[in-house]
Structure 1
Amino acid sequence: MRKQYLSAPLPFQGQKRMLAKEFIKVLEEFPDGTTFVDLFGGSGLLSHIAKYRKPNSKVVYNDFDGYRQRLEALPVTNLILAELREITADIPRNKPIRGKARDRVLSCINKYERKGYVDYITLSSSIMFSMKYATCFADLQKSTLYNNVRATDYPQCRDYLEGLTVTSCDYKELFGQYKDVPNVVFFVDPPYLSTDAGTYKMYWKLADYLDVLTVLKGHRFIYFTSNKSSILELCDWMGKNRTVGNPFENCRKVEVNAQMNYSSRYTDMMLFKRN
């Protein structure tokens, strides 16, 4: 019998495991046979749950971040983890990996890097501080490593994406393909405003977050955000001040680059009008 996952089988920043049970309740509002389009597919958890709960529905999973590749690389990931367990066997849990042990860890991973694809995000959860992620070998080289190596292999999950229509494209392109399809519901789970989006393949500015809102008008959707984001407060303000427009239109802008320390930089801006 096919397994229902309530959390993604591999680590993914921003997966909706805490909302999984509530998401299932919301899905019951829509009949089986509805078309569901997961615009920001991420770990595929929302798509997986939707297909499991609505087996006769078409569920489109937008794998823009390459989660499928990480699933396919599971056998290699488990091999790497087995070697890392041996290397770190004498290092206390949650303590830094230093000296020769660190060199051996990096050498092990680099060996597999030369052979092909390495899932750095999954490995990060075993050798980096909690909630810290590397996306390439260079990231690991400049990071402090910790012994959080997973004690067991990750289980195979070949049925996780079973039955899904999988694509990988810009969410606007996918929205354009399905916006006129009858009985369509969009899952809208973009990287949150004002939160770290470092493991995503796209770089998000404020305008990008606001652009997402254009897909909501006139369509059925399930939208995700958090109290770390000010997007709902911003939309509420815009709704109450509809005539403000852009107060900075036709302003002149002056920018000055500033630096607080070796790793923290920012840009000061000044905007002005003469009349």
Structure 2
Amino acid sequence: MKNYTQAPLPFMGQKRKFLKPFKAQLSGCSPTAIYVDLFGGSGLLSRNVKDEYPGATVIYNDYDNYRQRIDAIPKTNALIAKIRYLVVDCPKDKVLPNEVKTSILEVVKHYDADGFVDYVTLSANLLFSMNYVTSFAALEKETFYNVVRKSDYDAVNYLDGLEVVCMDYKTLFEKYKDVPGVVFLVDPPYLSTEVGTYKGNYWKLGDYLDVLTVLQNQNYFYFTSNKSHIVELCNWMATHSNYENPF
């Protein structure tokens, strides 16, 4: 079986750079526990827990509907193959001429009219690094670059063995919070960072603070970023009030 060290399709905040320290800490956890990935994102954390502990129950909360993108991989590959043909004579990593952009948009429009288009993956093949859109209207406003992938995408066995659900993280937490030995994977959109490709699009400060309530008296892995100030905020609150810092 293929071992995934990154998500099979582009996803902001997929945690591939966290895998080594995550696995080091995971080695001290039960191989048969229930692991609940509250903010499943790309599913990379869930996939790696299941690969590390095949006997564990791993709940992947696919709130962003990553499965839809995985299911659409054959269509996405076909679309990108057509785009690859259109840019074959264009310099790599350079801005595409307007006439080429127009031709690409015509192809995308045809696929869009025919059903689902994975605009996040399409963005990774046409837009400047880490710049993502989620609709045709947004795509046509962007400058296109020749950063088209040379090979097809695949997600063979990626979801195998995972229990995939799609629900609000609070509902999922309530379902499992009293299960003995349960381990929660807590990876919310980062405070003070871009969340444009997440379903729901924007999180307020209160949303981030709500997440902290699931950490009290639980086994958990919490993921954050140097760009996020949530840990600093919790330290301040613990210093200046009776707040119990979960970190």
TM-score range, shorter chain: over 0.9
Instruction: Return 216-225 or 91-100, whichever deviates more.
Output: 91-100
Q: 1: distance between equivalents of 2:65 and 2:242?
A: 42
Q: Could you say which residue in structure 2 is the equivalent of 1:180? A: 178
Q: Which has the larger radius of gyration?
A: 1
Q: Say which structure is richer in strand.
A: 1
Q: Could you say which residue in structure 2 is the equivalent of 1:256? A: none
Q: 1: distance between equivalents of 2:178 and 2:72?
A: 36
Post-superposition offset of 1:61: 0.2
Q: Could you say which residue in structure 2 is the equivalent of 1:59? A: 58
Post-superposition offset of 1:144: 1.1
- Could you tell me which runs of 5 or more consecutive residues in structure 1 were left unpaired when the two chains were aligned: 245-275
Q: Could you say which residue in structure 1 is the equivalent of 2:135? A: 136
Q: 1:192 aligns with which of 165, 190, 193?
A: 190
Alignment of 1:197-212 (within 5 A): 197-202=195-200, 203-212=202-211
Letter in 2 for 1:179: K
Letter in 2 for 1:38: D
Look up the SS of the partner of 1:13 in the other structure. Answer: coil
Q: 1: distance between equivalents of 2:49 and 2:132?
A: 28
Post-superposition offset of 1:93: 1.3
Q: Could you say which residue in structure 1 is the equivalent of 2:123? A: 124
Name the TM-score, length of structure 2 as normaliser.
0.96
Look up the SS of the partner of 1:132 in the other structure. Answer: coil
Q: Could you say which residue in structure 2 is the equivalent of 1:267? A: none
Look up the SS of the partner of 1:215 in the other structure. Answer: coil
Would you say 1:109 and 2:138 are equivalent positions?
Answer: no
Post-superposition offset of 1:98: 2.7
Letter in 2 for 1:151: K
Q: 1: distance between equivalents of 2:93 and 2:133?
A: 17
Post-superposition offset of 1:153: 1.2
Post-superposition offset of 1:243: 5.9
Look up the SS of the partner of 1:65 in the other structure. Answer: coil
2:2–2:156 Cα contact (<8 Å) kept = no
Post-superposition offset of 1:97: 1.9
- Could you tell me which runs of 5 or more consecutive residues in structure 2 were left unpaired when the two chains were aligned: none
Divergent runs of 4+, >4 A: none
Would you say 1:16 and 2:12 are equivalent positions?
Answer: no
Post-superposition offset of 1:35: 0.5
Greater RCO (CA < 8 Å, at least 6 residues apart): 2
Q: 1: distance between equivalents of 2:128 and 2:155?
A: 26
